[in-house]
Amino acid sequence: MDNVPCTYRISLKAAIQDEDGRILLLREKSGDWELPGGGLEHGESIKDALAREIAEETGMVLESMDERPEVFWTIHKDVGSPTLKWFAFLVYEVRVSGIFRADTTNDEAQEARYFSKEEAKKLQLHDNTKPYFA
């Protein structure tokens, strides 16, 4: 372990299931599939952050979420910062309303589809999402 000060970037992800228990994944412009969600901003509550990210990426509305995360993992990534090298991911089971709306003005969420965990393992998953399906 190095002696560089350590800062974690917290990323909240949403596990949105359909009636068959399949998980919603979003295809980015890069072709990678990822769980909906994103970074927790300073001073923001977990629920507010997930609601914001879900709305931004899908156009859907967060109706409810579990109080505790379903899954937690960390990954090490070099992003060119001397202190930001670790990322922490928390996945919450949530319920949403509305329908998916693609936002073609950015690189995120070009398509949304539900997949079983076995189907998802065969996809080109974003590095941030792979541990969820491991």
Domain extents for the chain?
7-133
Q: Which CATH architecture has domain 7-133?
A: Alpha-Beta Complex (3.90)
Q: What's the confidence (pLDDT) of residue 22?
A: 97
pLDDT in tens, 71-115: 999 988 877 776 677 889 999 999 999 988 877 676 678 899 999
Give the span between the Cα atoms of 51 and 49, in whole angstroms: 5
Extract the tokens encoding 48. 């507010």
The 8 Å CB, 24+ separation contacts for 115-118 are 115/22, 115/23, 115/25, 115/33, 116/20, 116/21, 116/22, 116/23, 117/23
* CA geometry: angle 55, 8, 88, nearest 5 deg: 55
What region does 118 belong to: left with phi over 0, alpha with psi -120 to 50, or beta? alpha
Q: What percent of the chain has pLDDT over 90?
A: 68
Q: What's the confidence (pLDDT) of residue 78?
A: 77
Model confidence at 27: pLDDT above 90: yes
